[in-house]
Structure 1
Amino acid sequence: MFDSDSSSKPTKAKLPKTVMMMVEKGNIVMAITTLAADENISMDAAKSRIDAYELALKSQQQQKLNSIANKQGIPSQAFSFDREQAEDDTERLIKNKVKSTPSEQSFQTLKDGLDNQLNNLGYKKPLLPYWGKRLLIIAIVMAGLFWIMWRVFG
Structure 2
Amino acid sequence: MFNSDPSLKTKNPKLPKAVMMMVEKNNLVMAIKTLAEEENISMEAAKARIDAYEHSLKVKQQQKLTTIANKQGIPNEALSFDREPEVREDTGILIKNKVKTTKSEQGFKSLQSGVESKLGDIGYKKPLIPYWAKRVSVIAIVMIGMFWILWRVFG
Which TM bucket (shorter chain)? 0.7 to 0.9
Deviation at 1:16, TM superposition (A): 0.8
> Partners of 2:90 and 2:6 in 1: how far apart?
52
- 1:69 alignment partner in structure 2: 69
Q: Structure 2: give runs of 5+ residues left out of the alignment.
A: none
Larger mean CA deviation between 96-105 and 69-78 belongs to: 96-105
Match of 1:87 in 2: 86
Instruction: Tell me the equivalent position of 1:137.
Output: 138
Which residue in 1 is equivalent to 2:13? 13
Post-superposition CA distance 1:10-53 (Å, at most 9, x none): 76621111111121122222211211110112223222211211
Q: TM-score, normalised by structure 1?
A: 0.74
Indicate the larger mover: 8-17 or 55-64: 8-17
Count of aligned positions:
147
AA aligned opposite 1:19:
V
Q: Secondary structure at the match of 2:115?
A: helix
Amino acid at match of 1:68: I
> TM-score, normalised to structure 2's length?
0.73
Give RMSD over aligned pairs.
3.2
Structure 1 spans left out of the alignment, 5+ residues: none
1:118 paired residue number? 119
Is the alpha carbon distance of 1:150 and 1:34 closer, same or farther for their aligned partners in structure 2, counting shifts above 3 Å?
closer
Alpha-carbon distance in structure 1 between the residues aligned to 2:53 and 2:105: 36
In terms of fraction of residues, the more helix-rich structure is: 1
What SS does structure 1 have at the residue aligned with 2:126? coil
Quick check: 1:42 aligned with 2:42? yes
